[in-house]
């Protein structure tokens, strides 16, 4: 007896530890944004584009470097004699002979040699003053790259949230169908009790009870299929949002709850008509990330043309250097310099490159106009789909109302002995079918609404 009490207490404690967990749509969206791999990669792309923009900003500042150079030659690179200075003449020959004599007399070489070995170390700075506009244009291109990365991230977030919404409402739809199935099973349980009593009293045939049992078996088969589909839909949703779960109840823990204990809290209720969500079509298309990316594409082609033109324009820069030289002499020295570079032979290549960029610019403009028209058509199509889905909800509600009234009337007539049990069961089956159709219509409307909004 004590052991039984202990086991009961441990079972209660385990149930309290792993209680049912509810997830709302907003929670699922937040989890998806925190865990989805595509959103993470899009964030990394934004950081990379930010680093690229900072890299381009560095072109505005001087380029400072430390330089070192050393050399050693087999023979001196500089040899100067008297004849090298005065040329071939009688005077130079006489002077050379005198220098040779004095060299032998006093022990020095009659030929000056230098630069056989040496080294230098210096610090230099170079500041571009004008580079054909390529520095400014390059920075603008880098800024466009960051804007494009942000737009791609927004598109990724939008697509992820839309997918989460659809998967969420699919699970809610299947959970609602389970509730319809529960109601049908409760009805059949009560009906089976009434029929069994009637059979025992001789007021009904045993075949009536068999019909009820057969219908219960049909519902059991539907439950098996429905539970399998519900678990699969939950798995798809939980995998997309990063929610851990366990398919085996005995393997659950505080981190991975049993999949059937994770219940979605939002329901297919409180639907508003499409007019509540209408947005002007052209304004909606203009605000799309796709259109902004197309505008950025055109702008980037214009900047690429300016970059190509800058290669043929003059380049101006200034600089300074200071360091130590050990070669012909040993001393510190410094100097400043200015550089002007005017390309003369690049115009032919640049002209063809500009022609190519003009063609790509025209192509980008054509693509923007064409895709813009396609996005407008898509927006209108989504609006039509949303209205059709709303009309389907209205029709499904009407069908459900009629099926429910028919089932209630059939139940009254069955109790009065006016219709058979088969007629009653058929009306209840029809009501369940219409209830499922209404649930699917509501889920379809919410899915269409998610696509239209996002």
> CA dihedral defined by 354, 356, 357, 362, rounded to 10 degrees?
130
Shared-domain flag, residues 449 and 365: yes
Q: What is the pLDDT of residue 19?
A: 62
The number of helices, as runs of H, and strands, as runs of E, in the chain is 11, 8
Shared-domain flag, residues 145 and 246: yes
The domain in which residue 373 lies consists of 269-454
- Is residue 44 in a domain? yes
Shared-domain flag, residues 147 and 244: yes
Q: Which residue has the tokens 């056989």?
A: 116
Shared-domain flag, residues 204 and 284: no
- Is residue 96 in a domain? no
Q: What is the pLDDT of residue 73?
A: 83
What are the tens digits of pLDDT across the range 76-89? Answer: 877 888 777 777 88
Shared-domain flag, residues 284 and 393: yes
- Is residue 32 in a domain? yes
Domain stop point among 238, 267, 296: 267
Shared-domain flag, residues 246 and 371: no
pTM exceeds 0.85, yes or no: no
* Alpha-carbon torsion (96, 101, 105, 110), positive or negative: positive
Shared-domain flag, residues 172 and 280: no
Shared-domain flag, residues 278 and 356: yes
Q: Which parts of the chain register pLDDT below 50? A: 1-16
Q: How far apart are CA 116 and CA 78, in angstroms?
A: 8
Coil, helix or strand at residue 269: coil
Shared-domain flag, residues 142 and 255: yes
Backbone torsions φ then ψ of 273, nearest 5 degrees: -70, 160
Domain stop point among 197, 232, 267: 267
Shared-domain flag, residues 215 and 301: no
CA–CA distances in Å: residue 357 to residues 56, 182, 209, 348, 393: 22, 67, 82, 15, 53
CA atoms within 13 A on the CB side of 33: 13
Q: Is residue 368 within 8 Å of residue 293, measured between CB atoms?
A: no
Domain stop point among 240, 267, 294: 267
- Is residue 351 in a domain? yes
Q: Which of 360, 261, 324, 325 is nearest to 118 (CA)?
A: 325
Helix, strand, coil % in the chain, rounded to nearest 5? 70, 15, 15
CA–CA distances in Å: residue 18 to residues 185, 249, 258: 28, 10, 8
Residue 110, both tokens: 């009659």
CA atoms within 13 A on the CB side of 175: 18
**E-strand stretches of 73-213:** 78-80, 112-114, 117-131
DSSP string, 24-85: -HHHHHHHHHHH-HHHHHHHHHHHHHHHHHHHHHGGGS-EEEEEEEEEE-SS-SEEE-HHHH
Shared-domain flag, residues 201 and 55: yes
- How many structural domains are present in the chain? 2
Q: How far apart are CA 243 and CA 255, in angstroms?
A: 9
Q: Which of 283, 293, 284, 53 is nearest to 150 (CA)?
A: 293
Q: Which of 126, 118, 73 is nearest to 324 (CA)?
A: 118
Q: What is the pLDDT of residue 2?
A: 45
Residue 385, both tokens: 């789909």
- Is residue 100 in a domain? no
Shared-domain flag, residues 355 and 420: yes
- Is residue 309 in a domain? yes
- Is residue 18 in a domain? no
Q: CB neighbours (10 Å) of residue 263?
A: 13
- Is residue 221 in a domain? yes
- What CATH number has the domain bearing residue 315? 1.20.1600.10
Q: What is the pLDDT of residue 18?
A: 56
Q: What is the pLDDT of residue 277?
A: 93
Give the strand pairing for 330-341 and 117-131: unpaired
Q: How far apart are CA 353 and CA 180, in angstroms?
A: 68
Q: What is the pLDDT of residue 5?
A: 40
Which residues contact residue 395 at a Cβ distance below 8 angstroms, ignoring those fewer than 6 apart?
441
Backbone torsions φ then ψ of 337, nearest 5 degrees: -150, 160
């Amino acid at each position: 007896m004590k052991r039984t009490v202990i086991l009961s207490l441990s079972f209660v404690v385990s149930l309290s530890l792993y209680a049912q967990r509810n997830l709302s749509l907003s929670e699922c969206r937040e989890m998806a944004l925190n865990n989805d791999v595509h959103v993470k990669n899009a964030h990394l792309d934004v950081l990379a584009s930010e680093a690229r923009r900072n890299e381009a900003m560095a072109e505005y500042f001087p380029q400072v470097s430390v330089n070192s150079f050393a050399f050693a030659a087999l023979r001196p690179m500089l040899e100067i004699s008297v004849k090298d200075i005065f040329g071939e003449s009688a005077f130079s020959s006489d002077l050379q002979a005198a220098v040779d004599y004095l060299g032998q007399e006093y022990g020095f070489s009659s030929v000056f040699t230098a630069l056989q070995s040496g080294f230098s170390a210096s610090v230099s700075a170079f500041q571009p003053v004008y580079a054909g506009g390529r520095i400014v244009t390059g920075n603008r291109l880098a800024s466009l790259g960051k804007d494009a990365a942000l737009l791609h991230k927004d598109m990724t977030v939008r697509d992820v949230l839309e997918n989460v919404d659809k998967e969420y409402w699919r699970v809610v739809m299947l959970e609602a169908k389970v509730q319809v199935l529960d109601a049908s099973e409760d009805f059949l349980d009560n009906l089976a009790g009434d029929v069994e009593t009637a059979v025992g009293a001789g007021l009904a045939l045993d075949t009536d009870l068999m019909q009820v049992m057969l219908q219960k078996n049909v519902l059991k088969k539907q439950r098996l299929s429905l539970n399998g589909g519900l678990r699969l839909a939950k798995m798809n949703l939980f995998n997309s949002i990063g929610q851990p779960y366990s398919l085996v109840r005995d393997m659950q823990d505080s981190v991975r709850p049993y999949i059937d204990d994770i219940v979605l809290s939002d329901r297919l209720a409180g639907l508003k008509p499409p007019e509540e969500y209408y947005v002007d079509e052209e304004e909606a298309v203009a605000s799309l990330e796709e259109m902004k990316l197309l505008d950025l594409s055109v702008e980037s082609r214009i900047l690429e043309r300016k970059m190509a033109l800058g290669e043929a324009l003059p380049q101006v820069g200034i600089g300074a250097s200071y360091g130590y030289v050990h070669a012909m002499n040993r001393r510190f020295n410094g100097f400043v310099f200015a550089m002007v570079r005017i390309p003369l032979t690049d115009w032919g290549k640049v002209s063809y490159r500009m022609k190519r960029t003009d063609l790509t610019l025209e192509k980008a403009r054509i693509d923007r106009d064409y895709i813009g028209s396609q996005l407008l058509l898509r927006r209108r199509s989504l609006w039509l789909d949303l209205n059709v889905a709303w009309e389907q909800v209205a029709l499904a509600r009407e069908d459900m109302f009629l099926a429910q009234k028919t089932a209630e009337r059939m139940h009254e007539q069955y109790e009065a002995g006016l219709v058979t049990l088969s007629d009653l069961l058929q009306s209840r089956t029809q009501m369940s079918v219409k209830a499922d159709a209404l649930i699917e219509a509501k889920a379809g409307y919410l899915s269409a609404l998610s696509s239209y909004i996002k």
